[in-house]
């Protein structure tokens, strides 16, 4: 699988034919380690200009949340955390680090489920996910990363930097890995979006049999994020993918539009 992925990234560039539309997904290799305060737009530009990858009008950059968090100094050292009584009780009951639990609670707006050692919450950004998005992977030992404070704002800033550098209209998606309540396996979803509409609304249109669609709202930003993960991987050291060939209209839409309002939530 590893050998196939490398061929896919560097030779085939993830080209997928979608009917009359050819969609290319290009992993950006050799990306340096990101440090707090780094300008991602500058780093991305430097890496691309030293590679054979060009940038074209309406290209979509899918960027792993982790490097955005690192650049924005959203890293917490565990040895600086003093867990509360609740965090200690939960951690001791389920063999979890109470300091990690305390960080999760600090990023939580609402606890959705605490069961069998799992902590599912609505975090401060409004996403319902495990551990409020707090993650210990791909960071130094003894530290964890938090999600960016405003993923849509982060995506907009990076898009503006890249458009200024390359002189073409672009879109940016900040992606992270989420679980799904009723299906096994993880997928990448869009936490931040800038430059394209995150949802494709078919409601009111007719299908091929003339039936009027009433509920079909496609989360295209999530689909693009998941497609990009196929070339980015989790252990390949490729935190950025470039998607080319996906037709979209420039939009001021944002990822927050994809969060289901409380009045529409059947499980709240």
Contact 188, 225 (CB under 8 A): yes
Which are the contacts of 257, defined by CB distance < 8 A and separation ≥ 6?
198, 199
| Full pLDDT tens readout for the chain, 268 residues | 333 333 333 333 444 444 456 889 999 999 999 999 999 999 999 999 999 999 999 999 999 999 999 999 999 999 999 999 999 999 999 999 999 999 999 999 999 998 888 899 999 999 999 999 999 988 999 999 999 999 999 999 999 999 999 999 999 999 999 998 889 999 999 999 999 999 988 888 888 888 888 888 899 999 999 999 999 987 788 999 999 999 888 888 899 999 999 898 888 7
Distance of CA 99 to the CA centre of its chain: 25
Contact 26, 11 (CB under 8 A): no
- pLDDT for 33: 95
Q: Using alpha carbons only, what angle is made at residue 257 by residues 104 and 130, rounded to the nearest 5 degrees?
A: 20
* Assigned token pair, 76: 């917490």
Of 131, 122, 123, residue with least CA distance to 104: 131
Provide the 3-class DSSP secondary structure of residue 94: coil
Distance of CA 142 to the CA centre of its chain: 23
- pLDDT for 21: 65
Distance of CA 117 to the CA centre of its chain: 25
Structural domains present in the chain: 2-71+151-261 (3.30.1330.100), 75-144 (3.90.1660.10)
Give the DSSP H/E element, type plus range, for residue 261: none
């Amino acid at each position: 699988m590893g050998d196939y992925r490398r061929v896919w990234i560097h030779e085939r560039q993830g080209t997928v034919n979608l009917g009359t539309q050819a969609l290319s997904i290009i992993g950006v290799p050799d990306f340096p380690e990101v440090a707090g305060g780094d300008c991602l737009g500058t780093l991305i530009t430097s890496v691309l200009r030293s590679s054979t990858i060009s940038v074209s009008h309406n290209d979509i950059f899918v960027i792993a949340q982790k490097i955005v968090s690192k650049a924005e100094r959203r890293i917490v050292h565990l040895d600086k955390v003093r867990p509360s009584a609740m965090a200690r009780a939960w951690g001791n009951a389920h063999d979890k680090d109470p300091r990690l639990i305390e960080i999760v609670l600090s990023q939580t707006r609402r606890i959705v489920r605490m069961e069998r050692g799992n902590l599912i919450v609505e975090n401060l950004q409004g996403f319902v996910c495990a551990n409020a998005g707090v993650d210990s992977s791909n960071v130094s030992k003894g530290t964890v990363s938090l999600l960016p404070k405003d993923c849509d704002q982060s995506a907009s800033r990076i898009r503006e930097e890249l458009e200024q550098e390359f002189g073409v209209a672009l879109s940016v998606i900040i992606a992270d890995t989420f679980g799904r309540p009723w299906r096994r396996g993880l997928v990448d979803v869009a936490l931040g979006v800038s430059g394209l509409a995150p949802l494709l609304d078919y409601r009111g249109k007719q299908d091929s049999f003339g039936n009027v669609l009433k509920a079909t709202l496609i989360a295209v930003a999530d689909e693009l994020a998941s497609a990009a993960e196929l070339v980015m991987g989790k252990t390949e050291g490729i935190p950025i993918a470039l998607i080319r060939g996906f037709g979209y209209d420039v939009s001021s839409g944002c990822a927050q539009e994809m969060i289901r309002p409380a009045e529409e939530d059947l499980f709240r």
